[in-house]
Amino acid sequence: MRRTSRENRSGLSLIEVVVSTMLVALVLIGALRCFGAVLRSRTNTADTMRARLLGRQLLTEILNGEYVDPGAVPLFGPEAGEPLVTAGPRSGWNDVDDYHLWSGSPPQDRNGVPLPNLAGWQRDVAVEWVDPASPENVSLTDQGVKRITVVVSRSGTTLATAVGLRSDALDLP
């Protein structure tokens, strides 16, 4: 009895090796894409959380100030003798509207010391008078409530916005 060529065969043919290699490569490519997406998602989540914390930190600093500058003729923005700060310490500011249109990059603490590992990050502040009955509406005159908006961005992309209201009623004795 003669054996056929099929019965003598042992091992894998070249075609089987190529096909199995291609299948393994496709699975690896899919796995690497998933891994990259997970890393991007974790980075985006971390950046968003950091941005929220930076916004809340600055908003808290602002809200702890007086509604108007005590003992001075109230102006909107820094009063006479207060520094117009674009970078550096904000420690001389004592009322909410001193921060109006302030922008800082990289973020700094109140004493002007840059916060670590935040190159490319920026915080911008807007302070506006608002209608106490509907704080989403800007008022042209002071009605006793100011809305503070802190926008935190990284490389030009807004990541978080923190909004707070400050009333003059907090300053009453």
What tens digit of pLDDT does each residue of 162-171 get?
Answer: 999 999 887 6
118 within domain boundaries: yes
Query: Which pLDDT score, from 0 to 100, does residue 30 have?
Result: 84
92 within domain boundaries: yes
25 within domain boundaries: no
Place 31 in a pLDDT band, splitting at 50, 70 and 90.
confident
148-to-36, 42, 59, 96, 110 alpha-carbon distances in Å: 38, 30, 7, 8, 17
The terminus-to-terminus CA distance of the chain in angstroms comes to 113
Number of domains present in the structure of the chain: 1
24 within domain boundaries: no
21 within domain boundaries: no
15 within domain boundaries: no
33 within domain boundaries: no
Say yes or no to pLDDT of 53 above 60. yes
Radius of gyration of the chain (CA): 30
What confidence tens digit (pLDDT) does each residue in 111-139 have?
A: 888 999 999 999 999 999 999 999 999 99
**CA 146 to chain centroid:** 22
- Residue 151's domain spans which residues? 40-171
